[in-house]
Amino acid sequence: MLKKDIEPLRFGYEENLFRVLRAQLGPAISAMGNDKARLLLNARRESLLGDAVRVTADLLPQIHEAYQACLDIFGGDMSGDLFIQQSTEYNANVFGHGKTFDVLIHSALLKDFTLDEVSFVFGHELGHVVFEHSRFPVHDILSKAENISTDTADMMFRWARASEISADRVGLLCCGQLTPAVTALFKTASGLSGIDVERILRSFRMQYEELEKQIRERNDRFTWIRSHPMMPIRFKALELAALDIVALRQGSRGFSWKGFRTIDQQIASILEALDAL
Ligand SMILES: [Zn+2]
């Protein structure tokens, strides 16, 4: 597959929040310096080599192949290993510095997710790398920097949530179809597998509508709604972008950046409405 220009896939709302945060925090604390990032990357790799298992083509051929296929989308200029660790949680994470990184995936995920769903997860993690999300470590900044207002802190969490939508788009680019992306989200949110995909789609759609209605009708400032309404929104963002991203992957003419920005704006407005609470 040809190298794709990934940057325009970044969620516009994420970009806007990042720009505002940079201006508020100043460049000195808004992004991690190169030396610190390299140190962290090395320390993490050391602990992964010590405590996790590195996935090679020899050990897990199919998984390794799926991982490589995702990497190939970026044209071969990214290098990073995949590690697996025993855990019952459906989780994965990554730390990247420039084009170097390591991905860690939990064993439960490899056991219970299909290969296409795992590809979505790989793509999602690699999305965090290409968009350089590790350069802006929210928890690290909040724990160390003083004089950060609650508004700014709040905006950092909004940015972190928005960055998940950018990463999901790369996930979709890697797995190449909406269904495994959605079932991967569903398994992560519910912990359940073996449910018919049509039921999953209906459930997500209804929950999204319910959430939208809730936001429209709200008349007070409950803080609980702020905490984690992301799954239905991530689903909606994927559903809206799916045709375009699949067309982009196939290099077809069906893709237009103009249409894509409209979709972007639609998702941004629902998040903005939530964030304004
Ligand atoms: Zn993520």
CA of 256 relative to ligand 1 center, distance in Å: 26
Give the whole-number percent of the chain exceeding pLDDT 70.
Answer: 91
**Does 95 fall in a domain?**
yes
**Does 269 fall in a domain?**
yes
CA of 230 relative to ligand 1 center, distance in Å: 12
CA of 109 relative to ligand 1 center, distance in Å: 14
CA of 219 relative to ligand 1 center, distance in Å: 31
CA of 254 relative to ligand 1 center, distance in Å: 28
With cut-offs at 50, 70 and 90, classify the pLDDT of residue 155.
confident
From the list 111, 93, 113, 110, the residue with the least C-alpha distance to 102 is 93
Q: Any idea what DSSP says for residue 98? A: T
Non-local (6+) Cβ contacts of 274 within 8 A are 215, 225, 226, 229, 233
CA of 200 relative to ligand 1 center, distance in Å: 21
The average pLDDT across 124-130 equals: 95
Distance CA 142, CA 183 (A): 33
Q: Are strands 92-97 and 100-106 parallel, antiparallel or unpaired?
A: antiparallel
Q: Do the Cβ atoms of 268 and 155 come closer than 8 Å?
A: no
CA of 163 relative to ligand 1 center, distance in Å: 7
CA of 159 relative to ligand 1 center, distance in Å: 12
CA of 220 relative to ligand 1 center, distance in Å: 30
**Does 2 fall in a domain?**
no
Distance CA 264, CA 274 (A): 16
Rounded to 5 degrees, φ, ψ at 92 are: -155, 155
**Does 240 fall in a domain?**
yes
CA of 149 relative to ligand 1 center, distance in Å: 25
Cα angle 203-88-199, degrees, rounded to a multiple of 5: 15
CA of 165 relative to ligand 1 center, distance in Å: 8
Q: Are strands 53-54 and 100-106 parallel, antiparallel or unpaired?
A: unpaired
Q: What is the pLDDT of residues 176-187, one digit of tens each?
A: 999 999 999 999
DSSP lists the bridge partners of residue 100 as 79, 97
**Does 35 fall in a domain?**
yes
Q: What is the CA 220 to chain-centroid distance, rounded?
A: 30
Q: What is the pLDDT of residues 222-265, one digit of tens each?
A: 544 444 468 899 999 999 999 889 888 888 777 778 888 998 99
CA of 128 relative to ligand 1 center, distance in Å: 7
Number of domains within the chain: 1
* Host domain of residue 122: 7-275
Distance CA 126, CA 71 (A): 8
**Does 245 fall in a domain?**
yes
CA of 124 relative to ligand 1 center, distance in Å: 6
With cut-offs at 50, 70 and 90, classify the pLDDT of residue 112.
very high
**Does 172 fall in a domain?**
yes
With cut-offs at 50, 70 and 90, classify the pLDDT of residue 2.
very low
Q: What is the CA 198 to chain-centroid distance, rounded?
A: 24
CA of 137 relative to ligand 1 center, distance in Å: 13
Q: How far apart are the first and last CA of the chain?
A: 43
From the list 268, 8, 18, 273, the residue with the least C-alpha distance to 138 is 18
CA of 182 relative to ligand 1 center, distance in Å: 14
CA of 125 relative to ligand 1 center, distance in Å: 6
**Does 180 fall in a domain?**
yes
Give the 3-state secondary structure of residue 223.
coil
CA of 61 relative to ligand 1 center, distance in Å: 25
